Amino acid sequence: MFLLSVLLTGCGTDRFEPNGWGGITIDNNKLFIGSGDGQLIILDPKNGALLQSYPQNKENLHAIYSAPLISNNGKTIFYGTYSKKDGGTIYSLQSDTLTPNWTKAIPGSIVAQPIMADNLLLVSSSDGKLYAMEPETGNQKWVFESDGKLWSSAAWSEGNSVFIGSLNKKFYAINKNNGTKLWEFESEGAIVGTPLINGSTVYFGALNKKIYALDSKTGIEKWSRLGDHWYWAPLTQDKNALYAGSMGGMVSALNLDTGIALWEQKIDGAILAPLLLLDSLIAIASDNGQVTVLRKDSGNQTWNFPAGKSMRAKMANQENKIYLITTEGEIKSLDANRGTSLWSLQRDN
Amino acid sequence: MEIFGIIWNEVLIRPMTNGLIILYLGLFNNFGLAIITFTVFIRVLTIPLTLKQLRSSKAMATIQPKVADLQKKYPKDRQKISQETFKLYREAGVNPMGCLGPMIIQMPIWIGLYWSLIRALPSSPEALAGLAETLYSKLHLVHAAIPIQSSFLWLDLAAPDSTPILPLGVGISMWIQQKMMTHPSADPKQRQTNQIMLWMMPVMFVFFTFQFPSGLALYWVVTNTIGIVIQYFVTGWDNLLGRNEPKEPSSDTPHTPVTNTKEIDNGAKIEEQRKHGNHRNIRPVRRRSNRGRTNTPRRK
């Protein structure tokens, strides 16, 4: 009975293993998909036909949790991988041939998408470091060290400041030129989602159920708002409102200056995937397999599509089509106006 | 099956995970102390059952010779042996299944604690996301506690111990507890089984400890230590120190040669008479003790 209990201990816990959930980027009329199983694939958005994949050999690949980054000139793809045992690896490939430019191993696993900040490639890592690299070579220019895991992407929007939140509840502003800390803000919750910059304000959500708005120059809190559950998904905004989705399934449109709710709508399932803004609509993929589209002005539901499987990855849209990937590797294209399936592709995840 | 999953989650995992985090917050944000306190709490709750099991086990050991006699008395009648054995247990007030009680309680606790540890100390994004559905939404303080600091002394409680300290601690404490619980048996087969169990379980747990998060190993060390203390109050150190080992005659044992030939002759006579059923004239020789005597001559 001792042995049985020890053997049973691990049963059912494989769903907490790092399997990755990937993400989608559209560029140059191609779908670039970081698949959870560690492969980068390129599909034709019209019909889901596989155009290219990397690497060809699927053995010993590590999980991917984010969408690949296509660099400003569209010629280079960057993505990072996650491995508990081996740490993270950042890949740079040529976007037309998928030929590797360089790869770089770093001690901490990579969860978030790398970003470009004025010819600097910024990679956040589970070892608590934000690496700034030359995109052409992968050579390190500087590194910023926090005391908690960095699972969110950094954010940059002109200027010399880069912003990032960490799992140790701290939010940092960092000098883009040399990696020194400009200021830090202690929130009361772990930060997983990518910050959002809008003028002189930087916004982020945290796992203590709060959304924060800080002055981007000083780090002083402008407002904060308590929601119903964890804010994992990054916030998004247009000129009218700040949009947030919580793990309690609450979608909120907030006044950018005050944080007061313009509307709130509860959907079915936790929200981890970034919200997708369409023209007058907002699409939300939830953890219980539902894609829900709401009107941006009112929050009223337009349509709902049962994708069937959990979704945590970044979606993409082009020409009124929504592209998504489930945690089990199924890739779908939906009509953004009608909510009907256009095509579907199942990968082995 | 889904209903079992819901029951498992709602009755064991969620209360345990939330409880551990509350303990963590109350104990200076120290998850190691939270695990230790939780373990002590569980052992205190189960003391009545543990004591009952230990006493039952001790009583069973005392009637083992009688059980062995039954097997000699009815060598081919298994049914009779079973009947008489159960009669013995009944008369002695022993429940042969009594030892299973604490084990049945410990099993879900180990498994539940492992699940709670990997949820409360998430090492992957999936695990952290899974924690969200485990925490009680109305308990704001547990949400603000995330992420839990997993370091305790030299350990990362979410990962196996990188040193042999904790695995050896688990193995040694388990061996001591096992040794204290094992009542020596005169039956050679039983002794062999006891020896195997004494070593096999600790060795296996040392191996497991290298694989599992050190938080679980910490639980094992603490629970074994408490078990040793409880066991001491029931059986003492005798089993551990080998004081209760049954003595067997051995050809290697040196013996004192007999110098009193009168005793030998008399002994042989007595044996001879016993064989022929003549008990009347048997009178064993009484050796006169010199205790308290002096060399004073006897008076006539």
Strands A321-325, A210-215: pairing is unpaired
Average pLDDT over residues A278-284: 94
Of A4, A84, A209, the CB nearest to B123: A84
Q: Which of residues 16-55 of A touch B (CB under 8 A)?
A: 16-19, 21
Chain B residue nearest residue A231, CA to CA: B132
For the cut 60, the answer to whether the pLDDT of residue A66 exceeds it is yes
What percent of chain A clears pLDDT 70, i.e. is strictly above it?
95
Q: How far is B253 from chain A (nearest CA, A)?
A: 40
pLDDT, averaged across chain A: 92
Chain B interface includes A14 (CB < 8 A):
no
In angstroms, what separates the C-alpha of B147 from chain A's closest C-alpha?
6
Whether B132 sits inside 8 A of A270 (CB atoms) is: yes
Q: Is the per-residue pLDDT at A11 higher than 70?
A: no
Cα within 13 Å of Cα(A200), Cβ side: 7
**pLDDT at residue B271 is higher than 80:** no
- Reported as a single tens digit per residue, the pLDDT across B61-109 is 777 777 777 777 777 777 877 777 777 777 766 666 655 666 677 778 8
CB B113 within 8 A of CB B216: yes
Most confident of B3-7, B203-207, B283-287: B203-207
Kindly indicate the confidence band of residue B292, based on its pLDDT and cuts at 50, 70 and 90: very low
Contact B103 A3 (CB under 8 A): no
In this predicted structure, what is the pLDDT of residue A129? 97
The pLDDT value recorded for residue B251 is 47
pLDDT band of B257, cuts 50, 70, 90: very low
Q: Is the pLDDT of residue A10 over 90?
A: no
Contacts of B77 by beta carbon, 8 Å cutoff, 6+ apart: none
List the A161-165 sheet strands across, edge first.
A155-156, A161-165, A170-175, A181-186
pLDDT of residue B255: 46
Kindly indicate the confidence band of residue A3, based on its pLDDT and cuts at 50, 70 and 90.
low
> Above 50 in pLDDT, residue A170?
yes
Q: Which residue of B21, B128, B148 is the best one to mutate when testing the A interface, meaning the one whose CB has the most A CBs within 10 A? A: B128
Enumerate residues 192 to 221 of chain B having a beta carbon within 8 A of any beta carbon in chain A.
201, 204-205, 208, 212, 216
For residue A146, the chain B residues in CB contact (below 8 A) are none
* B204–A168 CB contact, under 8 Å: no
pLDDT at residue B294 above 50?
Answer: no
Q: What is the model's pLDDT at position A15?
A: 57
In B, which residues are within 8 Å of A19 by CB distance?
Answer: 126
pLDDT band for position A186 (cuts 50, 70, 90): very high
Q: Which residue bears the tokens 């939830």?
A: A286
B124–chain A Cβ distance below 8 A for any pair: yes
Shortest alpha-carbon distance between residue B159 and chain A (Å): 11
Q: Using CB atoms, pick whichever of B100, B118, B147 lies closest to residue A13.
A: B118
What is the secondary structure of B68-134 as a DSSP string? Answer: HHHHHHSTT-HHHHHHHHHHHHHHHT--TTTTHHHHHHHHHHHHHHHHHHHHHS--SHHHHHHHHHH
Whether A348 and A341 have beta carbons less than 8 Å apart is answered as: no
In Å, how far is A308's CA from the nearest CA of chain B? 18
A65 pLDDT tier (thresholds 50, 70, 90)? very high
Nearest Cα of chain A lies from the Cα of B228 at a distance, in angstroms, of 18
Q: Could you report the per-residue pLDDT of B224-234, keeping only the tens digit for each?
A: 999 999 888 88
Q: Write down the pLDDT at residue A23.
A: 95
The DSSP secondary-structure symbol of A314 reads: B
Work out the average pLDDT over A63-85: 92
- Fill in the amino acid letter for B225: T
Mean pLDDT of B19-42: 94
Chain A contact set for B205 (CB, 8 A): 6
What is the spatial distance between Cα B166 and Cα B219, in angstroms, rounded to a whole number?
Answer: 10
In the stretch 156-175 of chain B, residues with CB closer than 8 A to chain A read none
Comparison of pLDDT for B13 and B195, the residue scoring more: B13
Q: Would you state the structure tokens that stand for residue B195, as one six-digit string?
A: 């020896």
* pLDDT at A126 exceeding the cut of 50: yes
Q: What does the pLDDT average to over A69-73?
A: 86
In terms of CA atoms, which chain A residue is nearest residue B200? Answer: A3
**CB distance from B237 to chain A under 8 Å?**
no
Closest chain B residue to A210, measured at CA: B144
Q: Hey, is A74 helix, strand or coil?
A: coil
Of B103, B137, B212, nearest to A1 by CB-CB distance is: B103
Percent of chain A residues topping a pLDDT of 90? 85
* pLDDT the model gives residue A91: 96
Residue B240 pLDDT: 76
Q: How far apart are CA A271 and CA A236, in angstroms?
A: 13
Amino acid (1-letter code) at residue A43 = L
User: Which residues of chain B make contact with A9, given a CB cutoff of 8 A?
Assistant: 110-111, 114, 212, 216
User: B128–A18: do the CB atoms touch at under 8 Å?
Assistant: no
- pLDDT the model gives residue B279: 47
Query: How far apart are alpha carbons A91 and A81 in whole angstroms?
Result: 8
pTM: 0.80
Query: Is the confidence metric ipTM above 0.90 for this complex?
Result: yes
Please, how many CA atoms are within 13 Å of residue B291, restricted to the half-sphere of its CB? 2
